[in-house]
Amino acid sequence: MSTLLRTIEFLGLSLWLGSDVFLSFVVAPGAFRILASRDQGTFESLATPVALCVVLMILLTVVSQHAVSPKMAVLRVQIGSIQAMAADSPLLTEFGRLHRISASLEGGVMLAGLVSLYLMVKDLGVGN
């Protein structure tokens, strides 16, 4: 299980880094070639629904990584073995609550990502 999680973590980091490189070296230069001037890249043009979805994805990830995950890690150390812990333990109850919050945040990230993909495809007119 640990190997699978490390593989997923590595894949996620690779995808994030790859998308950053793609944005920096492909999208940005292409956008500036298409725009009549660099002045067209205003804040209003960046505040599109797709961009807002990406910002939401980043915010949800930051909350998960800096507010929820550290608390879960501390509880996990305090609990020791989840299987050996009594089901009515306050530590286990709190861990479960934080786990549900974490899963909801990640679900929000995925939903915002799917919405942004849909909006991008719709704007490109794919399938029409």
Query: Helices then strands (H, E): number in the chain?
Result: 6, 0
pLDDT in tens, 6-48: 888 888 888 888 887 777 777 777 666 666 665 556 666 667 8
- Comparison of pLDDT for 101 and 82, the residue scoring more: 101
Q: Mean per-residue pLDDT for 49-53?
A: 85
Grouping H, G, I as helix, E, B as strand and the rest as coil, residue 86 is: coil
Q: What's the pLDDT score for residue 82?
A: 79
What is the 8-class DSSP label of residue 66? I
| Predicted confidence band of residue 126 (pLDDT cuts 50, 70, 90) | low
Q: 98: which 2 tokens?
A: 């934080």
Q: What's the pLDDT score for residue 31?
A: 67
| Measured distance CA(9)–CA(18) in Å, rounded | 14
